[in-house]
Amino acid sequence: MTTKTFHIPNISCGHCVKSIKNELQEVSGVLKVDGDPEKKVITVEYETPDTLKTICETLIDMNFPPDD
């Protein structure tokens, strides 16, 4: 299992975090998603390196591209 924290400047509120959590929890291999709208970060626990690529693509498709 790997944990990665993404800084996402487009997060403006708790609703953004909830939307991201809902979408990322549907990605195969994602185990847990947490977020903090004040710090503009999402932390994701996932199983395989391939999952990271899908997480990033999903965030970009949602118009929440990560800085990292």
Range of the domain at 57: 2-61
Would 23 be classed as within a structural domain? Answer: yes
Contact 8, 37 (CB under 8 A): no
Q: What is the CATH number of the domain that holds 52?
A: 3.30.70.100
Strand partners for 42:
6, 35
Decide if pLDDT at 68 tops 80. Answer: no
Total domains in the fold of the chain: 1
40 found inside a domain: yes
pLDDT digits (tens, 9 = 90+) for 24-55: 999 999 999 999 999 999 999 999 888 999 99
Answer whether residue 21 is part of any domain: yes
Mean pLDDT across the chain: 95
Asked whether residue 63 carries a pLDDT value surpassing 90, the answer given is yes
Contact 27, 54 (CB under 8 A): yes
- The answer to whether position 44 is within a domain reads yes
Residue 68 belongs to a domain = no
With a threshold of 0.85, does the pTM exceed it? yes
